[in-house]
Structure 1
């Protein structure tokens, strides 16, 4: 069974074609081709979690491009990157608040029996599995580091 999220992206692409929304259409085409490329490479249908990770990777790339355009003084291209980020974020689950994430980190530390900074990798991996794309890895690492220090 194909991922529901992938089907939703395809439906949104058709709607963007009909409405003439060029920005949304080009962004969705890029995402869909990226997803299909991964499907072909892995020779299997992707799950929603795998599609979400592709979307997150795409957003991360757009943020990096945005930063580079800002530094180069290219406001026009930087704004285009921000538009793409906004479009893609519509398809991601809502991010966890920092309070929710702290609670999950604290619970995970108890579950894995972590006691020092040496256990950081184990805790971060367990938290990443729990939140499945609803929080950035850098924020998770920062919170885990604070709690284990």
Structure 2
């Protein structure tokens, strides 16, 4: 873990230890463990893009857990997951504006239609392009819904 993002997470762990913030420390250690596990599994050192993907996965898991807990009426668990989500989001890049998301979606749609692919079959190709353009900057489930709406229109 020698990349900039890994160093940032490591520094956050150290400051959480100094501040005796156990909730923050636990969340950050989970991220570090996920990064280390991936490095061990792949026998390589991860770069910032790969670490960002791990953080995005953790964020997605927290969002799904929050929805499940709220649906089950477990507000205390949902609040805990929300606190962890807030900590994880500190390591994601600034979120893209609606205009940036629309521009990226439209650019991907234009590129895919130039290749002659249209309709629902273009969904995978468009999402692949959009994911590259907006990595970590947007909730891909919301972007996916937007792409689906544009493709069906």
TM over 0.5: yes
Q: Structure 2: any 5+ residue segments left out of the alignment?
A: none
Question: Does 2:125 match 1:122?
Answer: yes
Residue 136 of structure 1: which of 126, 135, 139 is its match? Answer: 139
1:73 and 1:132 map into 2 onto residues whose CA distance is 32
Moved more, 68-77 or 102-111: 68-77
Cα distance in 2 for partners of 1:66, 1:146 equals 26
**Higher mean Cα deviation, 22-31 or 115-124?**
115-124
- Give the gaps of 5 or more residues in structure 1: none
Shift of 1:89: 0.3
Q: Equivalents in 1 of 2:144, 2:64: separation in Å?
A: 20
Cα distance in structure 1, aligned partners of 2:143 and 2:71: 27
Distance 2:74 2:104 in 1: 40
User: Deviation of residue 122 (structure 1)?
Assistant: 1.1
Q: What residue in structure 1 maps to residue 5 of structure 2?
A: 5
Cα distance in 2, alignment partners of residues 141 and 11 from structure 1 = 34
Cα distance in 2 between the residues matched to 1:25 and 1:92: 18
Is residue 14 of structure 1 aligned with residue 19 of structure 2? no
Question: In structure 1, how many angstroms separate the alpha carbons of the residues matched to 2:78 and 2:122?
Answer: 39
Local SS of the residue matching 2:108: helix
Partner Cα separation in structure 2 for residue 54 and residue 129 of structure 1: 15
Structure 2 counterpart of 1:43:
43
More off after superposition, 104-113 vs 21-30: 104-113
Alignment partner, residue 60 of structure 1 = 60
How many matched pairs?
Answer: 149
Q: TM-score, normalised on structure 2?
A: 0.88
